[in-house]
Amino acid sequence: MKYMLDPLRGNIFPVFFYYSFLTVIGMIAVSSASAVDAAFLGNKVGEMALATVNLSLPFVILSGGIAYMMAIGASVNCGKYLGEGDPDTASSIFTKTLLATFVIAASISVIGRLGIDTLVTILGASPEIAPWVKKYLSMLLLFIPFLTCGICLSYFVRVDGRPLLAAASMVTGAGINISLDWLFVIKLNTGVQGAALATGLSQVALFSILLPHFLLKKGKLRFKKNGGSWKEILFAAYNGFSEFANEISAGILTFIFNWIMIKRMGISGVAAYTIVNYILYLGSMACYGIGDAIQPIISKNFGAEKSNRISSFLLVAWGTVFLIGIGIIALLVLVPDRMIDLFTNGEAGETTRIAKEFIAYFWPAFLLIGVNIVFSSYFTAMQKPLHSAVVAISRSLALPAIFLMVLPLCLGTKGIYMAIPFAEVGTFLMSLKLFAPNKPLQLVRIDRLYKRQELFIKKEISSSQYQ
C-alpha cells in the first residue's frame, strides 16, 4: 500500500487522488467554515456584518499571503531535497522557515493592534461601518501568529508524507470554527467580534494538531538547531513569491471591487460582492487544493528527474479542475437563488438582486480558474517563481484591474461583472506561452546539466586542495 501511494513510484491515479482528495477535503472544509461564518453573520446580523468581513478581507489575505509565500516556497524546496535523499537540509529549511514566519506574523499582530484606527481607514471603511471593522480586526489580530504558522505546518506535513494529517487538521479546525460561530454569533449574539474569535480559536486548534508531528519525529522533517543557510530561506521565499503575489493581488482586487461597489451601489453593493466573492472562494478552493496537492508530488519527481511522471500528473490535474469548474457552473446557472439565499435573511432585496445579476455574467470564469491555478502551481514546483508570479498576478490583479477600467466604459455595470472572466481567458493564453519552453522534460534536462556542472566544480575544488 505504501509503495502504491509513493509519489516517485506509485501509479499516477492512486497517488494523485490520494494527495489531492485529502487536500481538497481540507481546503473545502476551510472555505466552508468561512462561508458559514459569513452566512451566520448575514442571516443573524445583516448586510452590515457581511460588508465588515469583506472590508477586512484584504488585511487577512495579506497575513495569509506571507504564510503561503514562506510555506509553499520552502516546502517545494524540501520536497526536492527529500527526493534527492537529503532530509537534513530539508529539516533545516523547515525549522528556519517556521521561525521566520512566526517573527513576521507576531510583528504584524503587534503593529496592527497599535495602529488599528489607521488600518481601518486604509481598508476604506466609511464612518458608518468603521466601528464594526475595528471590532472584527481587533479580535482577529490576536491570532495572526497561529494563522500563519498553522498554514506553514500544513504544507510541511504534506511534503513529509502525511497528507491525511493535514486534511484532518483542516477539517477539525473548520468544524471547531463552525461550532463556535453558532455559539458566539447565533446563541450568544456577539456579532462580528464573536465571528473573529471563532476563527482565531479554530486556527489555534489546527496549529496544535499539526505541531506534534514534528515534535514526536513522525516523519523525515524535524526541528534542527543548526545547519543550513538563511540564504535558503530567502530563496524559498523568492520561489514562493508567486503565492504571495497571488494572495496580495486578491486582497488588492477585493479592495478595488469594494471601492467600486460602495461608490456605485452603497453598502448593498459591497454586501452583494461579498456573497459573490464567497462563491468564488468556495469554488476556487477545490482547484487550489488540486494545485497544492500536486506541488510536493511534482517537486519530488523533479528532484528524482522523472519528467514523464510530472507530465502525467499535470494532465490528470488539468482534467480534474476542468470538471470541477463545469460542476460549479451548473450550480450557478441552475440554482443561483439558493446559493445567494444562504448568505441573506430574506430582507436584503437589493443585495440579492445585485448578487444575482453579478453571477449571471461571472460564471464563465470557472471554465479556466482551475486550469490557471494548476499552471501557477506547476511553475512553483519546478522552481520557476517568476513564471508562477506572472500567472498569479495576471489572473488575480493585473488583468482584472485593466478590465475593470476598460469594460465599464463600453458595457457599463455589466463590465464590472465580466472583468474576472476576461482576466482568466487572458491568463490562460499567457500561461500557454510560458509553458511551451518550460515543459517537464526540458526543465529536468536543464536541472540535470546544472547538477553535473556543480558536481564537476566540487571535484575540481576537492582535487586542487590535495595538490
Rounded to an integer, what distance in angstroms lies between the CA atom of residue 132 and that of residue 134?
A: 5
pLDDT given for residue 463 in this prediction: 53
User: Mean pLDDT over residues 95-99, rounded?
Assistant: 87
Question: What letter would DSSP give residue 162?
Answer: -
Asked whether residue 265 carries a pLDDT value surpassing 70, the answer given is: yes
User: Mean pLDDT over residues 332-349, rounded?
Assistant: 75
Q: Is residue 351 part of a domain?
A: yes
pLDDT given for residue 178 in this prediction: 87
At residue 466 the predicted structure's pLDDT band, cuts being 50, 70 and 90, is very low
pLDDT, tens digit, for every residue of 18-70? 878 777 777 777 777 777 777 777 777 777 777 787 778 778 877 888 888 88
For the chain, give the number of residues: 467
Q: Which of 332, 52, 320, 294 minimizes the C-alpha distance to 44?
A: 52
Residue ranges in 6-45 assigned as alpha helix (H) = 12-44
Asked whether residue 445 carries a pLDDT value surpassing 90, the answer given is: no
pLDDT given for residue 455 in this prediction: 53
Asked whether residue 462 carries a pLDDT value surpassing 60, the answer given is: no
Residue range of the domain that includes 443: 12-461
pLDDT given for residue 273 in this prediction: 79
Asked whether residue 10 carries a pLDDT value surpassing 90, the answer given is: no
At residue 255 the predicted structure's pLDDT band, cuts being 50, 70 and 90, is confident
- Please check whether residue 148 is in contact with residue 104, taking contact to mean a CB–CB distance below 8 angstroms: yes
pLDDT given for residue 414 in this prediction: 87
pLDDT given for residue 253 in this prediction: 80
Q: Is residue 7 part of a domain?
A: no
Rounded to an integer, what distance in angstroms lies between the CA atom of residue 297 and that of residue 312?
A: 11
Q: Is residue 2 part of a domain?
A: no
Other Cβ atoms within 10 Å of 116 Cβ, number: 16
CA angle 289, 14, 150 (to 5 degrees): 30
- Please check whether residue 123 is in contact with residue 40, taking contact to mean a CB–CB distance below 8 angstroms: no
- Please check whether residue 400 is in contact with residue 418, taking contact to mean a CB–CB distance below 8 angstroms: no
| Percentage of the residues of the chain whose pLDDT score is greater than 90 | 13
DSSP 324-368: HHHHHHHHHHH-HHHHHHTT--S--HHHHHHHHHHHHHHGGGGGT
Percent of the chain that is helix, strand, coil (3-state, to 5): 85, 0, 15
Q: How many domains does the chain have?
A: 1
Rounded to an integer, what distance in angstroms lies between the CA atom of residue 458 and that of residue 455?
A: 5
Widest distance between CA atoms in the chain? 86
pLDDT, tens digit, for every residue of 159-193? 887 878 888 888 888 889 888 988 988 888 888 88
Q: Is 178 helix (H, G, I), strand (E, B) or coil?
A: helix
Q: Is residue 301 part of a domain?
A: yes
CA 185 to chain CA centroid, Å, is 26
Q: Is residue 466 part of a domain?
A: no
What stretch of H or E contains 301? helix 241-303
At 159, list the grid cell. 511534503
Residue 103: burial class (beta carbons within 10 Å; 0-12, 13-18, 19+): exposed
pLDDT given for residue 453 in this prediction: 61
Q: Is residue 369 part of a domain?
A: yes
| Percentage of the residues of the chain whose pLDDT score is greater than 70 | 92
φ, ψ dihedrals at 282, nearest 5°: -60, -45
Asked whether residue 120 carries a pLDDT value surpassing 90, the answer given is: no
pLDDT given for residue 323 in this prediction: 92
Rounded to an integer, what distance in angstroms lies between the CA atom of residue 359 and that of residue 328?
A: 12
User: Mean pLDDT over residues 134-154, rounded?
Assistant: 89
Asked whether residue 201 carries a pLDDT value surpassing 70, the answer given is: yes
At residue 347 the predicted structure's pLDDT band, cuts being 50, 70 and 90, is low
Determine which of 50-54, 232-236, 295-299, 342-346 has the lowest per-residue pLDDT on average: 342-346
pLDDT given for residue 346 in this prediction: 59
At residue 459 the predicted structure's pLDDT band, cuts being 50, 70 and 90, is low
User: Mean pLDDT over residues 251-271, rounded?
Assistant: 78
pLDDT, tens digit, for every residue of 434-443? 999 888 888 8
pTM over 0.75: no
Asked whether residue 256 carries a pLDDT value surpassing 60, the answer given is: yes
pLDDT given for residue 23 in this prediction: 76
